[in-house]
Amino acid sequence: MDDSGRPCITEYSLAKVFGHKSSAEFRRCMRWADPHLTWWSQREGDVFSFAMIMLEAFTGQAPFFPKPDSVAFLALERRERPERPTHVDLTAKLWALVERCWDDDKENRPKMAEVLRILRDWSVLLFLAASHSLENPHQPQ
């Protein structure tokens, strides 16, 4: 997200190879990228980056906030991950999905199609639960 709150999504695995003018820009981008993947393993890196974007969407802060870019970069190099936020309502299922997307073994990460299917299924369930609640406000859930 930029300072205006607009999403800035890109292919982070390719951004490591192309387009950076300075090491500071590189480290800033790396907050969202898996530093252990090469440019040709783009899909697994994009799943990793999507998990970072999900985390940012829930917290409103960049991964590893408030750590400086250099510290965040080193944490990722050591295969550390951001801690589960406690100040937001993040379900255990959603956090488990984020952690699967971050798995150190890229082969264990879900494909993006699976991530989207899971999120779509959950959004339908949330919609149905909300609809039921609105239609039957006096019935227990």
pLDDT value at 69 more than 80: yes
pLDDT value at 11 more than 80: no
- Looking at residue 101, what is its pLDDT? 94
pLDDT value at 4 more than 80: no
The CA R_g of the chain, rounded to the nearest whole Å, is 17
The CATH fold assigned to 12-110 is Transferase(Phosphotransferase); domain 1 (1.10.510)
DSSP 90: -
The proportion of the chain whose per-residue pLDDT surpasses 70, expressed as a percent, equals 61
Residue 82 Cα to chain centre, angstroms: 10
pLDDT value at 40 more than 50: no
Predicted TM-score (pTM) of the model is 0.70
Q: Hunting for tokens 């393993």 — which residue is that? A: 41
